[in-house]
Structure 1
């Protein structure tokens, strides 16, 4: 029993209410934390009273704690600390009980995703869900769920886990533990059932949806890159497009389509570079696009492409490409009269990109000097030397 002036039942009433909401509406697809002052406004916008207002918070003068409408769940911020503390405490007790019972339900219970209510397994799953919706990076809870799920052989169990992790990401979209758990689920599905392409499609759509709300979400975009190996050929990302080009005498249509897609990606990347000033990730992506454009698309359609760092034949298409790149670098290095760091970062990233490109194509240096002029080139080198001296040393000695 909990020590203190209140009984265990009273102290954990918030947790019971929370878990009741989750059980009553298994289709909840979004969760968020709400300031107490916002509950009435949400009711007005929804156009009707909260279904849990009277059931969980009778008209006895107590403040509202939960809001659930159209499968959207709101939790009052003034109870988060206590709710999280209680959920962790109850979860850890349930997990210890589960381990004492041999880390497994009996055979009849294993047939279902949820053991009968009140069993150690079901209690661990219920309380870990409550914990993770509030504290998404609580690793012990994730590990407990992995332990239990690893004993399951029904696809529905893993699909439900994808649903839960998606619900957690609706509020904690940068939670590394949640993204990692999601990859574990997909691996388990792939190993035990094969991977339905609709799952991968929905995963990609999930990343895109979260990316639209959180554009600098590295964890989400890393997850999408990880998905490439599970994608059907028509879904795969840029690197997979090159596969048809590795085969000598490959299908001409495939090569033509690949060239078209690559050119569109280059043009789109240029637009992004000019719009989102100072974003290093865009310049790094351009390195990848530029190098492969030269190697596979701008070398007179030769069956043998040069290795990175080898000299390339300077045909007209390459010359046009390089001229456009130099123009982009020159434009990006024209730092406006402003103190904003983004413009300074843009100039630095452009300078580093130009120097990197000359190391991949030594013959490019002459064109750079001709088009930018000696003084501008010195300015480029000086910019890198001041901001990234170690990087300059690395690029010069590659």
Structure 2
């Protein structure tokens, strides 16, 4: 056996240029010219073999060459004809590279590999028809082009001009627009169904993998697209039940806080009611599980979130306050951040666990820093008024 049978040899220097030229990317026209040259050479060889009486059954390059522009034009017409009978269009990946379309139950699938050629030929036909003022040609070309690439504004403007001239009705254009939407985005009930499915998927992943930060982050991205009623349901029903059963899941509590912030941004007038309800829910769990850090971290976030909705008052006025915890709504109705923080400090001291005492210290430090910051802002504003 020859030992060097599997050796690889460096290409001869004078062939490097040819190899580089062969591997270089080519335009569609260059590829067509190259295909034609190779097919012509293969045809000459076939004729020579045929003259010698040798049968040549191998399909050769003719069986694997990409479609010519004439084939792309016929594909464009085929796409346009099938799209007229379809109510939904999408891009699909087909195993057979020679197959361009799939039509099932009025749903048209277009092979991904054929889209550039279809769009290119449709674009050429559109500008040619526009120069010749060929109305049917403009309609057919724009229909095909926009189905595979809806971002071509010139085609949309041409169709609007034809509508203004009374060539076809607005109802026909609306039907075509709905067909384009099925190919490029989710609308209406489809979007709602998709979001509901994704929320169920997140819930399943969080059950299988506790403290799943990535699943909760993705769930928040979905929630940011929901309407206000859906956000309220997420806050009062879904996440409340979850957090009640998983009191140590930091990611779940963080998600709940972010949803609360979303709701507050849409209904700031209900901040007192929402925060009081949230504090009552957390307080019940903290009395049952006083040593769970996730609960106290969530309470810190609530304290910082509530600050913009409350007014500032001197800490010396704490001596005049006589509020007991359990009347959270009444304290929040007082609209003073110092009263709110005093009640929080008292609650942390009553619970007495290490996380609770850390929270009480945090509340004291935070309110002092917050009051000092507000004082500096007021002084700076008064200074600017004097300077002006």
- Shorter-chain TM range is 0.3 to 0.5
**TM-score, normalised via structure 1 length:** 0.45
**TM-score, normalised via structure 2 length:** 0.46
Q: Which has the bigger relative contact order, CA under 8 A and spacing at least 6? A: 1
Greater fraction of residues in helix: 2
Q: Choose 1 or 2 for highest CA Rg.
A: 2
